[in-house]
Structure 1
């Protein structure tokens, strides 16, 4: 079966959207993996992540992203249980917790972490924490909606490039 440029572009963007989804998930909540001692700095980072409801956010975003990808790529449907299990093993809160705490400790001082925790305890902070994943998803959809109408232009660029090679 021969694939046309349109099919190649669609597959490319499906794969990219999967990677972008994973990156957005990580950008929303962080990444990494290294045990830390229970210093006050560590506790401040952990408290911030918990007050922001990061465990729930990670798991909810992961499930939403997987559902979207499985819907877009029906071939994954046959292995849905295994795919979900794989991502739960490596992308869940439990898998990311230590690395995320470390990342926050590297990016913020203990005082900054405590200040943010104070903010996220307020009604506005709670609202921001609750809306963060929605805003991230909407931002990704916005980007995709800006590119979608211009895919023929990209296809033409790729077609010309392939013909030159």
Structure 2
């Protein structure tokens, strides 16, 4: 006796309504819960890291602005003559609103110190400090340069 089997399309059509243990379709509830737990663990570690990176970026940006401001203060004093560089504190211009927004509570100073040695010289120190989010002053930026007074010799 010859047996005729149904066409393959008919087998596939009937198979989609049957579920066998050897070929499961979809995900089980346990697998979905496990995936959600792993995702939650990953997110709970990644989100604080993003906050730390953002805070460090802001701190670095503030230090760069403070450093540039200190350089600008020293550049302004380079235009002064020797007679205007008396030892003591120099007057500094007011900080503009843009810098105040970046460096909250910014304070700045320019101090001229006399250096006693063979040649007359002065040290000019620019200091810039500001407050962090906790309303505490951060470590200030200090830059300095030296100016020597050249005495002319009579001819």
TM-score normalised to structure 1 length: 0.30
Report which of the two structures shows the higher radius of gyration computed on alpha carbons. 2
Q: Which one has a larger percent helix, Structure 1 or Structure 2? A: 1
Q: Which one has a larger percent strand, Structure 1 or Structure 2? A: 2
**Higher relative contact order, structure no. (Cα contacts within 8 Å, ≥ 6 residues apart):** 1
TM-score normalised to structure 2 length: 0.31
